[in-house]
Structure 1
Amino acid sequence: MSISAVRKVTVGVAVLLLAITAGLTFLTWRVDEHSEQRLLARQLAQVGTLLTSQAAVLQVQLADMGQVAVNTGARPDTFARWAARQLQQTQQSLSLWRVTDGQVSQVAQQGLEARLPADGPAALGSLKADGSLNVLGILPGDPDRLAYALRPAEGAGDLVIYAESPLPKGHRLPVTSDSPLSGLDLALYLGPTADPEQLLESTAPVPIRGETQRTTVPFGTGQVTIVGASPTHLAGGLAAALPWIVLAVGVVLSLGAAAVVEYVSRRRAVAERLAVENERLYRQQRGIAGTLQHALLPPVPELEGVEVAARYVAGVDELDVGGDWFDVIEKGPGRCVFVVGDISGRGLPAATTMASLRFAVRAYLAEGHDIDVVLTKLRRLIDVDVDHQFATVLLGELDSGAGRLRLVSAGHFGPLLVADGQGRLLECPVSAPVGVGGPAASAAALELPAKGTLLAFTDGAVERRGEVIDTGLDRLRTAALDADGQPLPSLVDSLLDALSFEGQKDDTVILGLRWPG
């Protein structure tokens, strides 16, 4: 082969390898850009989840205030006590209003004086009585405030809970290094567009500069638009420099196949880093859901004459909050009312319904109603045809001093009694689940031994796919007998360890009550 031919082959191979290198460089740049956009979109989605969760918490808080106002006849002193909890750490304005024949009048005011929207109290009178969180807009002042209100349903449509929360000075939100917003330039706007007049708060000067993305999430009856950008490379400095690395390696190693090997190995490293980042984001989002769920559940109380222990475990494969719950209300020495329930479905609607039923039980008991009357009243709060949800509920009244237990159930398992080295499931009248319709059953009275342990639970503790329910109940009974004699918190933990299995998706609640005799 002549020198000219060799040169042509060499040039041809060099051109071909340089063309391949150029193509690989462009592909790397495109993959890196795509990864940046995906990571930024995930970050904005996480911020949206936080906002939606906050809206749900605000709705539950205002709904609770509305329920208390209804149950107490809208007494200003009662409203003031409930509102004081909200005002301990914030500079809010909270007020209670009544709508009568189209006229709106203030019943009670706590915190800062209310500014009200431009059309004044009339803005409150036009709200629908459906229990929704209504965002009324940004009120100018020093500082500006975000106004929102809730008009309860279920026969309380003449009352309105109104609140104003101050926005950060200059609408600039300070961000610490350990904040989930660290490393992002964000701006939050009220409404479906990024209107500068509707800016809620931002972590950087607006408009946000750079390669931005935006998303819109629901916030009560309104919307919040999130505009974000990252001033740094989310995938890391190596990913940012990777296109240039590939180009340099391709030029240097254009006479050999090592350039391809180098590119593949580096791309694999980038893919592994992206996988680690995705896993971290998954754990962080699941942690937010779990934190919200535990925030909605009550603390385990300390009762005189009755020891109480409770555990809640979320389904391992879910990111949404669930609807399982428990509560224990003291009625006197050695006496208490307990409730365990399970809302159908998952997510914020289930969590909101769960909180409403839990506080409704407390309100009805505070009014002096018996447990079977409480269950009857709960059946009026949700309707599966309207709300697309139903709930199973077990209510029990324990009097350890008298050795008596009263039970009533709406589609829920009866509790397990462990005493004298034996365990048995207690039978009680069972009616259809709450929200399905039909009358509630009457409470049954049962005699209790001088000392024992009562275990109430949700279906996540005993149900497994492809297995009859009796097998799961026997498994629970056996595990409880094996752990009998342990301190009550340890017994409940042992039950969870014995009943959990790989791939469990349903939430689990176990509530234990023990009387020493």
Structure 2
Amino acid sequence: MFCIQAAPHRLRCTYSPTRLEGRSHVARFAQRSNDDGRPSTTLAVVATVLIGILLTATASWAADRADESSERRLLETQAKQAAAVLSTAIFVIEQPLTTALQVQAAAGPDGNPSVFRRTFAVSMGEEALFVTASLWHKDPRGFEQLAAVGAQPGIEPQTPRMQDLLGRALDTSTSVVQRVEVGDRTRIAYARADPETGFVVYTERAIPKNRRARVDSDSAYANIHYAIYLGEETTLGSLTTTDMDPADLPLGDPTYATTIPFGDTVLTLVVQPTDHLGSPLGRHLPALLLIGGLLLTFATALIARQLFGARLRAEADATTINDLYEQVHQRYDDEREMSLRLQRALLPQVNPSIPELEIASRYVAGTQDIEIGGDWYSVIELGEHHFGFVVGDVSGHGIDAVATMARARFTLRAYLLDGNAPHEALAKASRQFDVAEDGHIVTAVVGLGDRSTGEVTFANAGHPLPLVLAPEGSVYVPMPVGPPLGVGTTDYEPATFTVPVGATLLAYTDGLVERRTEDIELGMQRLLDAADHHADEQVTELLSSLLEDMRSNEAPDDIALLALHRLATNNVS
């Protein structure tokens, strides 16, 4: 048996139970002992244990590194989602200032202070959007205050500090942001100006006493600690909001930091996971491999000792050696089964029940070694009449491919749940992948359907075309095919197709139609012929029939299938 490094953090082992003429290697090793043979038996058992421990430690270490890498990527993804929520909150804060400037510009050179006071009065208070707001106008003598509402501002109105802040606002195209201390409370001051009219709106927003950000109730902040700083420095003097005791800052590893544009400065968001972000299996897999490997090692050592002791003085029986190799082979079969369970744990356990649709799915592993692939599917219900689905494929095999698959699956699912159209979801997801950095190509087809009309909007990132099976004939859904995710900033084009009542929409990965020795077009035609032959079958039987017709020894890749059959309204149970 020998092992080679097939990829980072992954060993591939093979064995060759070749019969030997004359004495076997085991017998020759045993011959080096004295008459009772005990030293050779001991050395053989020790060697077996050491090799088993080495392999077990390597596998456990590789699983731990893969889980750590997956955790870093999941933390990065959640940090970017939290940053997106924070960007939305900044827009909500700045929008009233922009609107107020537009209203004053429309009112004429003197503005309309009474409208300003009425507009901002409803947004004043310690727990409201602002605690104070004022309207200013630039004239040759300086800045004149036209209106003010709310509490006393933290910066005195007629001081040089206020004049400087208002002047800087006129010199920039965005808001000027500054930290203001008022007693034991901290406020964030904003000044936004219209250089053409000379109007400037100044507001102050109070940081809550408990320093908790108002956005941290969003699901993007679940399972993480966070600290938000004004500017790029992450010191206590720059801290604005956090869910931690400031005495416990800065956050310890693992952390991820990102910046969000905030007027003429930035907000620096630092996050730390509160718990394991990935699946429980990924968390416990290193320990399971370690315990299982040690048990198997010592069991193998005990068997080896018995075999060596029984046949130490004679030629090794090739049949006995083959039996031992079969046990080793079973060990790797068990590890492959564990790997498949890991992937299936990341796929939906059951499909959702959606009225007017009959849903079936299937995942079939194609590789014969212990490495696993990155094919996936997902179906979600969106509102009263809509549903979404994704079928995708990550190139390559192994833990890294599965980690990339998990990122792609949950990222696209999150964008669909947030209300993005398929082409928008693909465009946003593509910015979170980099083929050169990730080392994997990700393809996907995303659909958003109306179950009451059968209309489905598609977007495609380098994936095989979906197929519609109907009694009158099967047809591939026509749509533009964009590049895979992560090849650069890309806009994807949407396409709309209406699935008739009684028809079945089939999405799949390329393992269904690819064969090593033929062109892909032949596989696509073979699928079309098989679809016409089985179009009248129930969706579950349909998938089984298509797999039976399409799979062969020349198609070793993984396969994921998703079928959506549109039912007539009076057939819905």
TM-score by length of 1: 0.66
1:513 aligns with 2:564: yes
User: Equivalent residue for 2:68?
Assistant: 55
Once the two structures are aligned, what percentage of the paired residues are identical? 27
Aligned to 2:439: 388
8 Å CA contact 1:459, 1:508 repeated in 2: yes
- Match among 299, 302, 307 for residue 234 of structure 1: 299
Residue 49 of structure 1 and its aligned partner are, at CA, apart by 4.0
Q: How far off is 1:497 after superposition? A: 3.0
* Superposed counterparts of 1:115-134, under 5 Å: 120-122=248-250, 124=252
- Distance between the aligned counterparts of 2:399 and 2:48, measured in 1? 30
**SS in structure 1 of the partner of residue 565 of structure 2:** strand
Count of residue correspondences: 393
Residue 103 (1) aligns with residue 154 (2): no
**Greater Cα offset, 331-340 or 507-516:** 331-340
Question: After the TM superposition, which residues 23-422 of structure 1 pair with which residues of structure 2 at under 5 Å, given as runs?
Answer: 25=37, 30-59=43-72, 61-73=74-86, 75-79=215-219, 82-83=222-223, 94-100=224-230, 101-103=233-235, 105=239, 107=241, 109=243, 120-122=248-250, 124=252, 136=253, 148-151=254-257, 158-163=268-273, 181-182=290-291, 233-246=298-311, 250=313, 260=314, 263-265=315-317, 268-269=319-320, 271-299=321-349, 300-422=351-473
Which residue type is aligned with residue 510 of structure 1?
L
Shift of 1:398: 2.0
Q: Is the 8 A contact 1:151 1:157 kept in 2?
A: no
Structure 2 vs 1, CA of residues 323 and 285 (structure 1 numbering), >3 Å: closer, same or farther? same
List per-residue Cα deviations over 1:289-312 (Å, max 9, x = no partner): 222212222342221222222222
Report the Cα offset of residue 55 of structure 1: 2.6
Question: CA contact under 8 A between 1:341 and 1:394: conserved in structure 2?
Answer: yes
Distance 2:380 2:292 in 1: 45
Structure 1 partner of 2:190:
none
Q: How does 1:440-455 map to 2 (within 5 A)?
A: 440-455=491-506
Q: In structure 2, what residue type is equivalent to 1:121?
A: L
Does the 8 Å contact 2:516/2:554 carry over to 1?
A: no
State the 1:419 CA deviation: 0.8
- SS of corresponding position for 1:472: helix
Contact 1:318 1:505 in 2 (8 A): no
> Taking structure 1 as reference, are residues 399 and 506 closer, same or farther at Cα in structure 2, changes over 3 Å only?
same
SS of the residue 2:299 aligns to: coil
In structure 2, how many angstroms separate the alpha carbons of the residues matched to 1:301 and 1:465? 35
Shift in alpha-carbon separation, 1:77–1:479, aligned structure 2, 3 A: same
Query: Is 1:425 aligned with 2:476?
Result: yes
Cα distance in 2 for residues equivalent to 1:157 and 1:29: 65
- Give yes or no for contact 1:325–1:342 (8 Å, CA) kept in 2: yes
> Displacement of 1:458 after TM fit?
0.8
How many angstroms does 1:30 deviate by? 4.4
Change over 3 Å in CA distance of 1:349–1:457 after alignment to 2: same
Q: Which runs of 5+ in 1 are unaligned?
A: 1-17, 84-93, 125-135, 137-147, 167-174, 185-228, 251-259
The answer (yes or no) to whether the contact 1:29–1:243 under 8 Å persists in 2 is no
Tell me: CA distance 1:82–1:19, structure 2 relative to 1, closer, same or farther (3 Å).
closer
Distance 1:289 1:239, change over 3 A: closer
User: Following TM superposition, by how much is the alpha carbon of 1:330 offset from its aligned partner in structure 2, in angstroms?
Assistant: 1.9
Asked if structure 2 preserves the Cα contact closer than 8 Å seen for 1:408 and 1:441, the reply is: yes
Q: Contact 1:68 / 1:79 at 8 angstroms: preserved in 2? A: no
Tell me the amino acid that sits aligned with residue 475 of structure 1.
R
Contact 2:468–2:474 (Cα < 8 Å) also in 1: yes
Shift of 1:514: 0.9
Higher Rg: 2
Distance 1:72 1:306, change over 3 A: farther
Task: Give the aligned residue type for 1:72.
Answer: V
User: Distance in 2 between the 1:408 and 1:311 partners?
Assistant: 22
TM-score normalised over the length of structure 2: 0.60
C-alpha distance in structure 2 between counterparts of 1:437 and 1:34, whole Å: 51
The answer on whether the counterparts of 1:321 and 1:351 sit within 8 Å (CA) in structure 2 is yes
Counterparts of 1:392 and 1:19, CA distance in 2: 58
Letter aligned with residue 54 of structure 1: D
* Structure 1 residues 441 and 231, CA gap change in structure 2 (3 angstroms): closer
- Could you tell me how far apart the structure 1 residues matched to 2:563 and 2:297 are? 50
Checking the alignment, whether the CA contact within 8 Å between 2:456 and 2:497 is kept in structure 1 is yes
1:267-293 alpha-carbon deviations (Å, 9 max, x no partner): 642x23431331122122212322221
Over the residues paired in the alignment, what is the CA RMSD in angstroms? 3.7
Instruction: Describe the shift of the 1:98–1:349 C-alpha distance in structure 2 as closer, same or farther (beyond 3 A).
Output: farther
| C-alpha separation in 1, matches of 2:259 and 2:366 | 32
CA change 1:301–1:380 in 2 (3 A) is: same
Query: Structure 1: how far apart are the matches of 2:274 and 2:431?
Result: 32
1:457–1:510 CA contact under 8 A, matched in 2: yes
Q: Distance in 2 between matches of 1:473 and 1:23?
A: 69
1:176-216 Cα deviation digits (max 9, x unpaired)? xx9655577xxxxxxxxxxxxxxxxxxxxxxxxxxxxxxxx
Cα offset, 1:375, TM superposition: 2.1
